[in-house]
């Protein structure tokens, strides 16, 4: 009798995640509630193919602001991130960076909005702070992976600074530059989305145009946005960077005043839990009740919905990736078809998931479905792109089978590991995005955070943001342990 084969750890993990996602799916609200979603969709499509670039004269300014926030935010994040990367061996710095990057830029923006109002500081800091945390981690990893051999040839007695400058920095520099470009692309997306909470970027006009059904204007805004991102490698030149930064700083409306008393009030009064602020007898007991109320009425349901949506979106992303990567893989498609595939993936991944979810939500009404589709489309386009590029390096033997057999026997087994690595790497990203989609009305943690801000209950908002951050850090830790247990690795180019 032949003994039954033990399932591989890879298969077991996959099955486990599939099972969890299925259970989440059963309990998820995924109904389409709008009366006639397809009519609205038809109108949207019509608007998309008839872009109107003259509908609003503030289009140029919105674009300029979007660029300005992204450039300044990412530049600041680079400076701080680099500095932090140098001292990343300190545990305090590592934990601090994990914390600031676990809070989504939209949450940061909501916080700064209370402190600085609509001052440009709000937008710049909202991008710079979480990005500094991400950049610090990635740069520290790059420095660690730099070629260490030349160290041996450095003369005895050379200082640490000189050694760093000549041996470790040069190799890392090209990686830093590439990564900064990628971060700038992310920064542009973040900056556009900041418009949804009131900053004067593209998102602001997008929301207005959408709400009023001006789909031709929506189309024009999106096309401009894609063009800016698609041409980034052309206009982003090193010698021009100082010019861009000065211009960015110059056009932002720094005149918008904010008062320091607001800032200090925020820290010393607003965020102190209400019962403690009021004080008096029994304030500690009241604080206990407040905490229990917050945890059970808001944090818990928010966490459940966030987890549920994240797991469904993660598995859906996996499935979509399996469909998306062949679109650009030379192993499976010809040149002409691949060009179409590239265009499709570029458009889908350049559209911020927040905007995708916003559009779908308007078409289908409030449920988890728009969020699931938006998150999985966006993330699958990113991972599909990376996996598609990865297949370019795979050499098949000359007599390899063709068609579906090739996909299942030659390609899929080769890409499955790297695909899982990327999926787990993005798990935490998906969670962060899930939380933020709550602002659109899906009852994840972001929904409760947004409501607390709307009610001017900053103590509640901050507690919920902290809980969201903890959830992020937990998932990040689990993901890292799964990746190391299954020996799933991502390369520098894929971060």
Partner 1 sequence: MALLELKDESAGYNGKEILRGLTLSIEPGERIALIGESGAGKSTLLRLFYERLGPKAALMPQDSALVQALTVFHNVYMGRLHQRSVWRNLRNLVLPARDDVEEVREILIPLRLEDKIFSGVGQLSGGQYQRTALARALFHTGDTIVADEPVSSVDEHQAREILKTMNAQKQTVILAMHDRALAIEFADRLIGVKAGQIVMDQESAGMTPGDLDNLYLNGVE
Dihedral sign, CA of 220, 226, 227, 229?
A: positive
Assess 153 for contact with partner 1 (CB under 8 A).
Answer: yes
State how far the Cα of 488 lies from the Cα of 495, in Å rounded to an integer.
14
Assess 165 for contact with partner 1 (CB under 8 A).
Answer: yes
Assess 154 for contact with partner 1 (CB under 8 A).
Answer: yes
Assess 238 for contact with partner 1 (CB under 8 A).
Answer: no
Q: Which residue in 38, 173, 254, 296 binds partner 1 (CB under 8 A)?
A: 173
Cα 400–chain centre separation: 38
Q: Tell me whether residue 170 or residue 330 sits nearer to partner 1 (CB atom).
A: 170
Answer for the pair 455, 312: CB distance below 8 angstroms, yes or no: no
Assess 162 for contact with partner 1 (CB under 8 A).
Answer: yes
Kindly state the smallest distance separating residue 156's Cβ from partner 1, in Å.
5
Answer for the pair 309, 357: CB distance below 8 angstroms, yes or no: no
CA distances from 25 to 12, 57, 266, 379 (A): 20, 44, 40, 19
Kindly state the smallest distance separating residue 246's Cβ from partner 1, in Å.
21
In the 8-state DSSP scheme, what is residue 148? Answer: -
Assess 92 for contact with partner 1 (CB under 8 A).
Answer: no
State how far the Cα of 110 lies from the Cα of 447, in Å rounded to an integer.
13
Assess 167 for contact with partner 1 (CB under 8 A).
Answer: yes
Percentages (nearest 5) of helix, strand, coil residues in the chain: 80, 0, 20
Q: Which residue in 155, 239, 280, 334 binds partner 1 (CB under 8 A)?
A: 155
Q: Nearest-CA neighbor of 425 among 321, 314, 280, 273?
A: 314
**Which residues are CB-neighbours of 292 under 8 A, at least 6 positions away?**
none
Residue with tokens 């063009």: 227
Q: 285: which 2 tokens?
A: 């007991």
Q: Nearest-CA neighbor of 251 among 75, 69, 54?
A: 69
Assess 334 for contact with partner 1 (CB under 8 A).
Answer: no
Assess 83 for contact with partner 1 (CB under 8 A).
Answer: no
Kindly state the smallest distance separating residue 147's Cβ from partner 1, in Å.
7
Binding mask 111-150 for partner 1 (x = CB under 8 A): ------------------------------------x-xx
Q: Tell me whether residue 160 or residue 335 sits nearer to partner 1 (CB atom).
A: 160
Size of the site for partner 1 (CB under 8 A): 22
Assess 86 for contact with partner 1 (CB under 8 A).
Answer: no
Assess 231 for contact with partner 1 (CB under 8 A).
Answer: no
Assess 161 for contact with partner 1 (CB under 8 A).
Answer: yes
Q: Tell me whether residue 27 or residue 173 sits nearer to partner 1 (CB atom).
A: 173
Assess 166 for contact with partner 1 (CB under 8 A).
Answer: yes
Answer for the pair 470, 477: CB distance below 8 angstroms, yes or no: no
Q: Interface with partner 1 by CB under 8 A: which residues?
A: 147, 149-159, 161-163, 165-167, 170-171, 173-174
């Amino acid at each position: 009798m032949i003994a039954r084969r033990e399932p591989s750890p890879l298969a077991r993990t996959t099955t486990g995640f599939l099972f969890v996602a299925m259970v989440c799916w059963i309990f998820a609200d995924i109904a389409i509630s709008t009366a006639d979603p397809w009519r609205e969709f038809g109108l949207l499509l019509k608007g998309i193919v008839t872009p109107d670039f003259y509908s609003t004269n503030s289009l140029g300014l919105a674009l300029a602001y979007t660029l300005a926030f992204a450039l300044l935010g990412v530049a600041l994040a680079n400076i701080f991130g680099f500095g932090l990367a140098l001292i990343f061996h300190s545990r305090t710095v590592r934990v601090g960076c994990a914390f600031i990057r676990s809070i989504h830029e939209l949450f940061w923006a909501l916080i700064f909005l209370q402190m600085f109002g609509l001052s440009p500081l709000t937008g710049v800091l909202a991008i710079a702070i979480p990005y500094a945390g991400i950049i610090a981690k990635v740069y520290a990893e790059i420095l660690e992976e730099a070629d260490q051999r030349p160290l041996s040839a450095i003369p005895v007695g050379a200082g640490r600074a000189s050694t760093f400058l000549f041996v470790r920095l040069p190799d890392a520099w090209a990686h830093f530059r590439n990564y900064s470009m990628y971060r700038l692309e992310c920064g542009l997306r973040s900056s556009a989305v900041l418009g949804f909470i009131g900053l004067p970027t593209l998102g602001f006009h997008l929301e207005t145009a959408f709400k009023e059904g001006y789909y031709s204007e929506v189309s024009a805004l999106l096309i401009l946005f894609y063009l800016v991102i698609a041409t980034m490698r052309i206009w982003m030149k090193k010698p021009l960077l100082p010019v861009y930064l000065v211009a960015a700083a110059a056009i932002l409306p720094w005149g918008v005043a904010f008062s320091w008393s607001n800032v200090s009030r925020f820290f010393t009064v607003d965020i102190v839990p209400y019962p403690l602020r009021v004080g008096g007898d029994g304030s500690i007991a009241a604080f206990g009740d407040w905490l229990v109320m917050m945890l059970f009425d808001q944090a818990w349901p928010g966490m459940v919905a966030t987890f549920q949506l994240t797991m469904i979106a993660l598995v859906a992303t996996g499935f979509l990736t399996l469909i998306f990567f062949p679109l650009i893989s030379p192993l499976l498609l010809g040149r002409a078809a691949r060009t179409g595939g590239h265009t499709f993936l570029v458009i889908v991944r350049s559209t911020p998931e927040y905007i995708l979810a916003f559009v779908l939500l308007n078409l289908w009404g409030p449920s988890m479905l728009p969020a699931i589709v938006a998150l999985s489309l966006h993330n699958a386009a990113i991972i599909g792109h990376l996996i598609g590029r990865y297949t370019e390096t795979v050499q098949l033997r000359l007599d390899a089978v063709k068609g579906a057999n090739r996909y299942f026997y030659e390609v899929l087994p080769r890409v499955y590991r790297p695909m899982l690595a990327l999926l787990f790497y993005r798990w935490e990203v998906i969670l962060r995005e899930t939380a933020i989609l709550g602002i659109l009305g899906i009852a994840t943690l972001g929904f409760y955070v947004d409501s607390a801000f709307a009610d001017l209950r900053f103590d509640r908002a901050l507690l919920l943001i902290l809980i969201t951050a903890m959830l992020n850090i937990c998932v990040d830790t689990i993901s890292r342990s799964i990746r190391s247990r299954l020996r799933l690795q991502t390369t520098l180019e894929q971060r």
